Amino acid sequence: QVQLVESGGGLVQAGGSLRLSCVASTTIFSFSAMGWYRQAPGKQRELVAQMTSGGRLNYADSVKGRFTISRDNAKNTVYLQMNSLKPEDTAVYYCNARSRISSSINYWGKGTLVTVSS
């Protein structure tokens, strides 16, 4: 069973930065895409950033220019560098991996909480 473990969340002031990490229990070449989603209280989970195995990037409009997704293949790790954080970025951030076998097979981490104070 694939496991994804996130880390790096915490409390930060507005304008600050955090870097989230997601370590996969298997080679990330097993996935056609990996990404980060977030869910704020009372809201639906939304895509924040995604990277395909071919390197194509996709960002939510609300984070473009502030967040950067990257990966380290050797460490089976995906990162989310978050700069210029805003209170509205407060949410639980989840790592996601999409299987190469089927796009309907998705794996999720347990999430890491990011709180941005004003």
Report the C-alpha gap between 110 and 118 in whole angstroms.
Answer: 26
Report the C-alpha gap between 111 and 96 in whole angstroms.
Answer: 10
pLDDT tens per residue across span 55-114 = 999 999 999 999 999 999 999 999 999 999 999 999 999 999 999 998 899 999 999 999
Angle, vertex CA 24, rays to CA 23 and CA 27, nearest 5: 125
The residues near 64 (Cβ < 8 Å, ≥ 6 apart) are none
pLDDT tens per residue across span 34-43 = 999 999 999 9
Which pLDDT does position 103 carry in this prediction?
86
